[in-house]
Amino acid sequence: MGRFKIATVFGTRPEAIKLAPVLQALDKRGFDSVVIVTAQHREMLDQVLDLFSINPDYDLDIMLKKQDLFDISLNALQGLQSLLKKEKPDALLVQGDTTTTFIAALAAFYLKIKIGHIEAGLRTFDKDNPFPEEMNRQLTSRLTDFHFAPTDIAQKNLEREGIPTGNIFVTGNTVIDALLETVEDDYSFKKPPLNNIDFINNKVVLVTAHRRESWGEPLQNICLAVKKLAEDYQDIEAVFSVHLNPQVQQVARSVLDGIERVHLINPLDYELFVQLMNRSYLILTDSGGIQEEAPSLGKPVLVLREVTERPEAITAGTAKIVGRNTDRIVTEASLLLSNQNEYKKMAKAKNPYGDGKAAERIVDVLLGQLGS
């Protein structure tokens, strides 16, 4: 039996982070691995490629200034057509919920290439929330052959949609693999503004908010909550990692510029961001990935969304949905900042997303399924 050829397609920083352990495992197990990036997001993707020493075999470089979903979809599909015809992989791997994920699966389907979907089965069952990620996930599932579900709940979601149980494999989430490989205890920041933050005497509240549903008034409400917390608690420092999108930058800076002990920073590379999470006390975020990562570090998460496709964290008690209402965010954050018992309940809850061995399980499944 010859070596199986696996094509892996991704386009954004979160995909690259979660696929890095899988690519390492494919190489370790002797697969013929072909890495294709669409570069749906250019700069932030490149940071992770450098960190994990990922050298793509093909780079479609599709990112355009002021691109929209039509640009991404059309350019990715056209670019992948010729590459997949040329490489003829035995299977194609995609991850998560991006437009690249769905379009790559669609291209593989057109060419009758088997598809493996990593992080399959996450659902809100609201097609507009998150947009377009929820439908990217659902549509990808209709095309997928091997569904790598991170949790039992994700598996049950897929089964309810008619996916055969034999095609679903519960593996844990590969983001935990990447996180445990990257985090360093007692990390010391060397450059401003992070090297000027008093992590020892102050409680650091890490904030991220970038999703489309958060733009406009919801984001303003979030920023007003951060401002109120900084005013109410003299022993906290808020670090807001402000997405480069102008919709986010404008609102965040209009509300929070110049507020004492509030630090507005540009997005960090993954390695630095992991260390910042690890040194933080509390995290406010609308990110999906952080809901998975922070519990492994013992950091409570307040989810700045109305729904989440990651209910495991809510059930386990590592995260709580607080929405985008200023008063509710302040109330829930204040509880954790002032009540040690409530804080410990969340900080010490067990992470439901895995043990850092998800990539190995995925590669084991591929070897078994393609060899059968």
Quote the pLDDT of residue 184: 94
CB 324, CB 221: distance < 8 Å: yes
Q: How confident is the model at residue 103 (pLDDT cuts 50, 70, 90)?
A: very high
169 — alpha (psi -120 to 50), left (phi > 0) or beta? beta
pLDDT digits (tens, 9 = 90+) for 282-327: 999 999 889 999 999 999 999 999 999 999 999 999 999 999 999 9
Quote the pLDDT of residue 74: 96
Does 263 qualify as catalytic in the annotation? no
Quote the pLDDT of residue 372: 64
| Mean pLDDT value of segment 184-208 | 93
SS3 assignment for the chain: CCCCEEEEEECCHHHHHHHHHHHHHHHHCCCEEEEEECCCCCHHHHHHHHHCCCCCCEECCCCCCCCCHHHHHHHHHHHHHHHHHHHCCCEEEEECCCHHHHHHHHHHHHCCCEEEEECCCCCCCCCCCCCCHHHHHHHHHHHCCEEEECCHHHHHHHHHCCCCHHHEEECCCHHHHHHHHHCCCCCCCCCCCHHHCCCCCCEEEEEECCCHHHCCHHHHHHHHHHHHHHHHCCCEEEEEECCCCHHHHHHHHHHHCCCCCEEEECCCCHHHHHHHHHHCCEEEECCHHHHHHHHHHCCCEEECCCCCCCHHHHHHCCEEECCCCHHHHHHHHHHHHHCHHHHHHHHCCCCCCCCCCHHHHHHHHHHHHHHC
Q: Identify the active-site residue in 243, 263, 279, 310.
A: 243
- Percentage of residues in the chain having pLDDT higher than 90: 87
Spatial neighbors of 301 by CB under 8 A, at least 6 apart, are 283, 284, 285, 290, 291, 294, 295, 313, 318, 319, 320, 346
CB 363, CB 26: distance < 8 Å: yes
| Mean confidence (pLDDT) of the chain | 95
Quote the pLDDT of residue 198: 94
| Mean pLDDT value of segment 214-243 | 96
- Written as six digits, the tokens of 304 are 């700045």
Cα 336 to Cα 104: distance, rounded to the nearest angstrom: 42
Cα 290 to Cα 277: distance, rounded to the nearest angstrom: 9
Q: Identify the active-site residue in 133, 134, 332, 360.
A: 133
Q: How confident is the model at residue 237 (pLDDT cuts 50, 70, 90)?
A: very high
Q: Identify the active-site residue in 212, 306, 328, 342.
A: 212
The tally of CA atoms less than 13 A away on the side-chain side of residue 98 is 24
Does 342 qualify as catalytic in the annotation? no
- Percentage of residues in the chain having pLDDT higher than 70: 99
Does 243 qualify as catalytic in the annotation? yes
pTM > 0.85: yes or no? yes
Q: Identify the active-site residue in 41, 147, 210, 211.
A: 210
Q: Identify the active-site residue in 13, 117, 119, 177.
A: 119
Quote the pLDDT of residue 288: 87
Q: Identify the active-site residue in 97, 292, 332, 360.
A: 97
Quote the pLDDT of residue 44: 79
Evaluate if residue 66 carries a pLDDT over 90.
Answer: no
CATH architecture under which domain 194-347 falls: 3-Layer(aba) Sandwich (3.40)
Does a cis peptide bond (omega within 30 degrees of 0) precede residue 295?
no
pLDDT digits (tens, 9 = 90+) for 327-344: 999 999 999 999 999 999
Question: Residues for the chain: how many in total?
Answer: 372
Does 133 qualify as catalytic in the annotation? yes
Fold for the domain defined by 5-173+355-371: Rossmann fold (3.40.50)
Q: Domain residue spans in the chain? A: 5-173+355-371, 194-347
Q: How confident is the model at residue 1 (pLDDT cuts 50, 70, 90)?
A: very low
Q: How confident is the model at residue 2 (pLDDT cuts 50, 70, 90)?
A: low
